[in-house]
Structure 1
Amino acid sequence: MQLSVHFENTQGTDATSGPVKVGWFLNQQKAGIVYYPPERVRSADMNKTHAKSASRCPAVINLESRYFAVRCPFDLHLQFGRDKDGKPALRNLNGEASGIRGNKLREKLHIASENEWRYPGVPTIQLSLPYVFIADEPVYMSQISPFMHHPRDPLPGTIFGGRFPINVWPRPLMWAFEWHDTDKPLKVRRGDPLFYVTFETMPQDRSVVMVEAEVTKDLDDYMELISGAVNYVNQTFSLFEAAEARRPPKLLSPVKRGAD
């Protein structure tokens, strides 16, 4: 089994060619219909009539082809504050007009403990999401801010993500936001891009094909093996090689829909 969490470990093995297949799935199916499939970033609505238009530039097209957008599944309109005891709290400014029930929003959205904030006075809020990405060869995924989209309501802070190997460490993503200007509300509409994901491959010039993955028993068992590790150790990266040693040779099986 040639997977590896280190690209350099793949040197000298059989040459790889063609696109890299990356699978995505939801680890929770309840209300799964509200979650948008990841979609490739494209300049479909930009000016392409002029030969020198940036949207026709090969470098721009190549860049965009390497990013996939994940959209917000429901409306968020929040105000940061503190309760009577001084503890951080969130207020849903949509009130009774909110499309998501308050108890469901509280299940998905929470404020990180104040002693875990990266900067004093800058709250970190986290939106739990069911998106998981998987590959059967060495692929590192990075989760980043959707920098090619201009938000209708500028965010009062910054988004931060991370980078990890999805071939050995597939895990549900979350949207993490650092609220720098707590005097301003946070507003994200359903359908607005929450973040991008991009993928590092070997060789680096290989394209990426995104497919919906079937949650097989092997995949489900492997997810159970690594789930929750962050609650027990501080440096989960130290577990990558141990996880790889127990990984089945194949985890990605594309979903088959309709008649064959």
Structure 2
Amino acid sequence: MTHDTSAPVGVFDSGIGGLSVLRHIQQTLPNESLLYVADSGFAPYGDKPAALILERSIAVTEFLLSQQIKALVIACNTATAAAIAHLRLRYPELIIIGMEPGLKPAALLSQTQTVGVLATRSTLHSDKYQRLSVQLSTETGVNFMPQACIGLVDQIEKADIDSEQIRILLQRYLTPLLDANADTLVLGCTHYPLVTHLIREFVAQHLAGSRPVQLVDTGHAVALQLQRLLIQRGLDRKTAVPTAFTACASGSVERLRQACTQWLNVGPSNISAALVA
């Protein structure tokens, strides 16, 4: 593993969802070079078998290691649940950070003791999520209501985040949670923060201001953890230079370019998008 402070931080997701985490990393660590991989040729991960998600996670990690990364961020809740334990055993010297479901901060925020958890089926069925939800529910008395958002990632991947299809899906998945008195919603997939504005819009309409609802996005916490571990290892980049950003995809490169322009304010000229097998 490289010990070069100027080496990039590798970040990957099944598609464009991880850009929501990468935004936090850019803001928290403006000096770092970032290499993003969208494994869009195999997206979404949420409806794939765990064995395939692990296989793809290893393949993408091997590619990123060939680019001499100094740390790895798995910016995907589904891939974290399926692969992070294996990756940490396989690459013990590499800093590897994954996504947490955000149940603990949500439990602390909730006043109604009811928390809605929006996530993929794979994440909700994972041993990691099951253990954590049961443990925290026992400790805090909070009722965690899992809601698998089938089809939502597919629609967000199309990069039209104001589409009627997304609004219909959000109505379908948010209504039972809000009607059950949930006052806190966990965004348990990195794609979901990209449509936060639509979630807030629907919540405001459905509840007509009767009670506040808080959203939990753990992207900032991931960026802070990355910062802490880079400093701890002496790998943080201290020179104040513009962030170098490279994006690669195993699927549509043009769609990734559009997404980076839309959510990172990075023009196509700043993106070197190459196919990743």
Which of 1 and 2 has greater Rg? Answer: 1
Shorter-chain TM-score tier: under 0.3
Relative to its length, the structure with more helix (as a share) is 2
